[in-house]
Amino acid sequence: MAAIAAQPYDYPLPTTPTVALILIDMQRDFLEPGGFGDALGNDVARLQAIVPTVKRLLEAFRQQSLPIFQTTESHRPDLADCPPSKLLRGNASLKIGDPGPMGRILIEGEPGNAIIAELAPLPGETVITKPGKGAFYNTNLEFLLKTHDITHLILGGVTTEVCVQTTMREANDRGYECLLVEDATESYFPDFKQATLEMVRAQGGIVGWTATTDQVIAGLQAMAV
């Protein structure tokens, strides 16, 4: 059986291609100046550095015609799906829904809410808009995964300890075999990223596995033969 060399031990791949890529929130709001991440006081340059690696991972899934899901953190223009706790938290200079240089912050359909051009989804690749941090909360992701008989999730995107980790934990509790790609995820806080990688794979993989993009691609290629 094919496997991805991973920590804390090898991640077994299924014999049938029931493995999907989940890329979390690689949207301008988090990666470019003037978006939500910037408004929260973060340095977005850290996140831009992983784009070529994420692109390589995405292309590997495309080459093998494996299912690809991307998410965006997005709210309705009327903010009906944004609880006041989320809207008002942090006293940010720009709040969700405020006009910024890329349109209204974190609002569906605004230029800043788009996935960055380098990773723009192709026809047939699914984009899930999510109002929360986790991709399962108030979305149809679980329904779509079940429809495609997907059992294994390879996760990347931003930010590691917020939306990526929340999604991985949600998926783990739902029975998915989850692997977080170490160099295809990033945080505004390097220590938080490192801690997340360590905590998900601690205790025998309590939340799942971690591996590098190279290791994932090698495993997928072995699965294909």
Residues that bind ligand TIU (CB under 6 A): 25, 30, 37, 40, 73, 133, 158-159, 162-163, 188
Choose between 35 and 67: whose C-beta lies nearer to ligand TIU: 35
- Which residue of the set 163, 178, 183, 193 is catalytic? 163
Choose between 13 and 73: whose C-beta lies nearer to ligand TIU: 73
CB of 96 to ligand TIU, least distance (A): 10
Asked if 21 and 124 count as a contact pair (C-beta separation under 8 A), the reply is: no
CB of 71 to ligand TIU, least distance (A): 8
Active site residue 25: yes
CB of 70 to ligand TIU, least distance (A): 12
* Angstrom distance (rounded) from CA 68 to CA 85: 32
- Which residue of the set 130, 178, 183, 193 is catalytic? 130
Choose between 30 and 69: whose C-beta lies nearer to ligand TIU: 30
Q: Exposure string (b/e) for 144-166, b if CB count within 10 Å is 16 or more? A: ebeeeebebbbbbbbbbbbbbbb
Choose between 43 and 59: whose C-beta lies nearer to ligand TIU: 43
Active site residue 43: no
Choose between 160 and 215: whose C-beta lies nearer to ligand TIU: 160
CB of 24 to ligand TIU, least distance (A): 6
DSSP symbols for 83-149: -HHHHHTT--SS-TTSEEBTEETTBTTSGGGSBPGGGPPPTT-EEEEESSSSSSTTSSHHHHHHHTT
Asked if 177 and 153 count as a contact pair (C-beta separation under 8 A), the reply is: yes
CB of 199 to ligand TIU, least distance (A): 16
Asked if 69 and 126 count as a contact pair (C-beta separation under 8 A), the reply is: yes
Active site residue 82: no
- Which residue of the set 25, 29, 38, 183 is catalytic? 25
Active-site residue list: 25, 130, 163
